[in-house]
Each structure stands twice: as C-alpha cells, then as structure tokens.
Amino acid sequence: MIYYKNLDGDYIFAVSIDHGKIPIDETEHNAIVSAVASAPTAPSGYTYKLRAADLQWELVELSSEPEPELDTEEALNILLGGAI
C-alpha cells in the first residue's frame, strides 16, 4: 500500500491510497487524516485549508461562483469526448 498526497498550491488537497501525485509515508498520511478529523468548523461561505508546510489550518473564503448543473446533452458530450 502506497500513500500519496496531492497539493493545491501551498495547501494539501487530499491524501489517497495507491494513486496520487506525491508519495508519503504512513506516518505523514495518518497525521493528515488525523488533522482532517479535528478540523475546525468554518463559518458559512468559508472553508479551512491545511497548509502543507506546517499542517496548520487557514480560513479561506469559498468560491461564490456555483458550478453549473450539467444537463443530459452536456453529459452526453462528456461521454463522447467533449470537454467537461
């Protein structure tokens, strides 16, 4: 089993198993998962991001631009190789 972390700029985006970008050891994986489990609750419209450098949480504003709902035609375009 190989653990990975994926970054989004200076923040940790996610950790995963067997597929990912940056291999990490189990200790670091467990530390990140543990941090996620104890993440503070963000106020509405915000989220906490985990800094990769020191595993400290930082409050950031969520994007206010909603992702559009896909209709069936757009979904079919994805199936046929179109952009998502």
Partner 1 sequence: MAISKVILNDQTLMDVTSDTVTAATLQSGETATASSGEKITGSLIPGGGGSSDYDYHAIDITLVSTTTMAAILGQYVDTSKLVAYRIYPTEADNTSLNTFCIGYGSSAFPAVTAANGVSYPQTYTQYYVNDQTYNVFRGRGNVNNKPAGKYKLEVYGKLL
Residue with smaller CB distance to partner 1, 36 or 54: 36
In a 3-state reduction of DSSP, which class is residue 31? Answer: helix
User: Could you list the residues that contact partner 1 (CB under 8 A)?
Assistant: 2, 6, 8, 11-25, 32-33, 35-36, 39, 42, 47-50, 62-63, 66-67, 70, 72, 75-76, 78-81, 83-84
Q: Least distance in Å: CB of 31 to partner 1?
A: 12
Secondary structure percentages of the chain, helix, strand, coil, to 5: 25, 30, 45
Q: Least distance in Å: CB of 24 to partner 1?
A: 6
Q: Which residues contact 75 (CB under 8 A, 6 or more apart)?
A: none
